[in-house]
Each structure stands twice: as structure tokens, then as C-alpha cells.
Amino acid sequence: MPRTTGARAAARRLPRGYGAQARVYDHEYRDATADVAFIQARLDEARVRGPLLELGCGTGRVAIPLALAGHRVTGIDISEAMLDAGRARRRRLPPEVAARLRFARKDMRDFAFPRRFSAVLAPFSALAMLTEPAERAACLARCRAALEPGGLLLIDLFAPRAAGVPTFRTSFRLPPRGLLVEKESSEVVDVTARLDHVTYHYKIRDPEGRLLDEIRVAFRLARVDRAEIETALYAAGFDAEEVWGDYRQRPYGPQSERLIVQARRLPDA
């Protein structure tokens, strides 16, 4: 439930990094299920039965349905606000499902676990939040260390097509009062730096249309192309065995919306 504040105080707020929108996130993406079904299908196809690690798990949008499907999932995220929202959802799950799900505050550039995982997932462009190639290389090295031999790494990135969508408006409702959330997203593409500068501006209104609160979020996303991710994976000790362009598993091409790579941990040299 959003805090009710004066519009003037809200307007003074500065843009914040990813996570400021934690309280609206699950309502905004409640219909985003295609990637979850895709990940589930990939895990089934690869007969992954062991524990899963999700990088940048946010509020558990992916981790929770996987736990409901019987997987043991550990989700890591850098944002305490996103993790808190995930933990609140976890408390509402049946105990046997909650027992299969763990959230931990960790940086995906530098994490370690005492145990190995059967698969590591980086859904919904999580890896693109690491804006420097060296950060992505560090993350892939940590993924390799966290995976059992032959373990699976599934990376879902947005496809870096030349033009972004400069401004996009959408709206959705926040339960239980049905408050209206209007969202304006803007994206400025820096082709030279291979970065997208993204800002989200949410306005939360009561049923009479009065502004109750605003949330501003600003972050950057790396425009990672196929050659780069395949090279980085190989350098980190992975074999990129499949590359798809969408959640329907169509081949990756110039018009693809997603760049999805399934990689396998190579044996030690």
C-alpha cells in the first residue's frame, strides 16, 4: 500500500536506483508470465532437479512460481526493498513451498555459496544491470564457481536493436483499493557507450484522480549483443549451447526482442 504524502513533497524526490518501485513491481508485471513458463520448460527439458540460483531475483516474480513447481530456489538481489517484497510474498506461501525458497542480499558481481547449484538463472535482463563488461565477466566467473560440473546457466537479455522506445506510457491498478498507477518510461540510447539510460516516473492517484504519491527511478542497462555474451561466456568457462530470440524459442535474429542464451559449465581445463 503506498504511503500518502503531499504531492509537493513527492515532486521533490530525486530519481532513485532500481528497487524504488518495489511496492508497485508485482502489480505492474502481474501478466508477465511468458518468461517464467519458458524457464520452467527449459529446466524440464534439461532435467534439472537440483537447487537453482536466481541472480537479481527482485520480488520473486520468477523464483516463487519455480518454488511452487517443486524447485529449490535461492534468489539474490542487491535491493533490500525488492527482497522485502519477496519475503512478504514468501510468508503467504504454503510452508512446504516457502521451505524451498530463500532470498539473500548479495551483489551478483561478487557472491559465493558453500554449496553448488544445478542451474543459475539471470531472467528479465538482470545481467544488463551490470553496465561494465568487467562486471559482467566477474558475475559469470561467480556463476561458474557456483555451478556443479555440467550445470546450466540461462541468461535472458533484451536484444540491443538500434532504436529503443523513447517514451512509453502505461497504467495499472494497485490492490486492494484499486489506486491508479500511471507510468511514463523514457529511454535514451547511447550507442557509443552501449548503454540505455532508463527513467520511470510513476504517479499514484486515488479514485478521484488526486495525486497521492510519485516514484522516480533511474538506472542504466547494458546493450549486450550476441557476440559479446558468447565470447564472455566462453572466456568464463561456459559453452553457449542455445541462443533464442524470444520465449517461444524462435531462433535469434535481427528482429528478435530478446537475446536468450542457454550455456553449460565446461569441465575444468
Ligand X SMILES: C[S@@+](CC[C@H](N)C(=O)[O-])C[C@H]1O[C@@H](n2cnc3c(N)ncnc32)[C@H](O)[C@@H]1O
> Which positions touch ligand X (CB under 6 A)?
18-19, 56-58, 61-62, 76-79, 82, 107-109, 123-126, 129
Phi, psi of 258 (to 5 degrees): -120, 160
C-alpha distances out from residue 124 to 43, 121, 159, 195, Å: 16, 10, 11, 16
**Helix boundaries (H) for the chain:** 7-11, 22-28, 34-45, 63-68, 80-91, 95-98, 133-146, 226-235
Q: Which is nearer to ligand X, 56 or 160 (CB)?
A: 56
Closest approach of Cβ 75 to ligand X, in Å? 8
Note whether 57 and 78 are within 8 A (CB): no
* CA-closest candidate to residue 173, choices 206, 199, 200, 201: 206
Q: Which is nearer to ligand X, 18 or 212 (CB)?
A: 18
Tell me the residue length of the chain: 269
* CA-closest candidate to residue 41, choices 246, 238, 267: 246
Closest approach of Cβ 82 to ligand X, in Å? 4
Note whether 152 and 118 are within 8 A (CB): yes
Closest approach of Cβ 76 to ligand X, in Å? 6
Q: Which is nearer to ligand X, 172 or 205 (CB)?
A: 172
The type of residue at 240 is: A
Closest approach of Cβ 108 to ligand X, in Å? 4
- Quick one: CA dihedral 24, 28, 34, 35, positive or negative? negative
Q: Which is nearer to ligand X, 68 or 211 (CB)?
A: 68
Cell of 31: 501478466
Q: Which is nearer to ligand X, 132 or 206 (CB)?
A: 132
Closest approach of Cβ 222 to ligand X, in Å? 11
Q: Which is nearer to ligand X, 121 or 179 (CB)?
A: 121
Note whether 28 and 217 are within 8 A (CB): no
Q: Which is nearer to ligand X, 78 or 266 (CB)?
A: 78
Closest approach of Cβ 77 to ligand X, in Å? 4
Closest approach of Cβ 122 to ligand X, in Å? 8
